[in-house]
Amino acid sequence: MLYFDYAATSLRKPDGVAKAVADAILSMGNGARGTHAASLASSRMIYETREMLARLFGAKEACQIAFTMNSTMALNIAIKGMIQPGDHVITTAMEHNSVLRPLYELEKQGAVLTILPCDALGRISYKEMEESFRENTKAVVCTHVSNVTGNVNDIRRIGQMCREHQAYFILDASQSAGTFPIHMQEDQVDVICFTGHKGLLGPQGTGGLCVKKGVAIRPLLSGGSGIHSFSKEQPEQMPTRLEAGTLNAHGIAGLHASLQYLQEYGIDRIREEEQKLASYFYEQLRKEESITFYGDLDNPVHGAIVTFNIGDYDSAQVSDELAQRFSICTRPGAHCAPLMHETFGTERQGAVRFSFSHFHTMEEVRTAVEAIHTLIHE
């Protein structure tokens, strides 16, 4: 099996991740729920993982990291915990439903949305974003890297706009955490929402928020916290404020191991290797007249994603052929990003997405290229 669906979830994990999860299941108790050895071991590991994530995202303190199940939950916490009726929010047509659906819910409650369109290559206009700010603009919520096209937004430029207009910047880092540099202070991001199972190479069921000091978020959930048990309200201090209930310590142990790997291997090195593979794949196929590519693939700053269609064939049919005949795993369909497909006119056809990992070999990429050539020319 050749797996080219890393934008959905990383299949191959670094050595040590699975063992860390297994060891945690057999040895770790409930963090912050006791002073015995099993509980303390869990607490220490969770804190160390917060520290590693804080360093990765340029946060000042470990307490700025709150864990969730995934980036969808993180985005819901940030969006619903910061936006109120009457607030104006700027977002883009690049967004995943994890951003759009919470915003649509808030729109029904009285929030006002501006959704920036994309051009034919799936890019937003920063000039149009600048012109969209209003006196009541509360936040910009947008992705760092499109999960459909791999296009990369200039988050430092967006962060500067937000500062100038005194608006919050909520970043969806689902496709960038672990491969693209993000620095909360320098990029002027207020909340970074991330998942652990994609570029961070950890287990599913892990993710979280990195929240700038002083940014207040209303809890989405309330309940047990291990502290202040007699209080009728969720504790105020981070990260407890956003972490009601037992954390997925077993999954976080795997994330701890994958973050150690990222520190040693280097995210810049990972990004360069992935982009080299994606660029080769694209260059080998770009002259095929029957293929339509989506995104700004000639831009050197690009995620390791190549999305396309072959003629008028349904993307699911192409993806199934690749899977059944060549054991190549890809993602067809709408990728939970409806406005991006409306931009490209692919609402009915969808699109076939190849997403690459530094774990791939060039020989595997060549095999995928040959498989597509076979589909086109047989």
Total domains, the chain: 2
Q: pLDDT tens digits for 67-115?
A: 999 999 999 999 999 999 999 999 999 999 999 999 999 999 999 999 9
What is the C-alpha to C-alpha distance for residues 332 and 312, in angstroms, rounded to an integer?
14
Whether 116 and 235 share a structural domain: yes
Judge whether 4 lies within some domain. Answer: no
What is the C-alpha to C-alpha distance for residues 246 and 21, in angstroms, rounded to an integer?
16
- Residue 228 is predicted with a pLDDT of 74
Q: What DSSP letter does each residue of 64-106 carry, written as one string?
A: GEEEESSHHHHHHHHHHHH--TT-EEEEETT--HHHHHHHHHH
Q: pLDDT tens digits for 347-359?
A: 999 999 999 999 9
For 268, other C-beta atoms within 10 Å of its C-beta total: 11
> Which residues constitute the domain of residue 136?
17-265
Judge whether 3 lies within some domain. Answer: no
Whether 309 and 244 share a structural domain: no
Whether 272 and 253 share a structural domain: no
For residue 122, give the CATH number of its domain.
Answer: 3.40.640.10
pTM here is 0.96
Instruction: Give percent of the chain with pLDDT exceeding 70.
Output: 99
What is the C-alpha to C-alpha distance for residues 205 and 196, in angstroms, rounded to an integer?
8
| Local confidence band at 233 (pLDDT 50, 70, 90 cut-offs) | confident
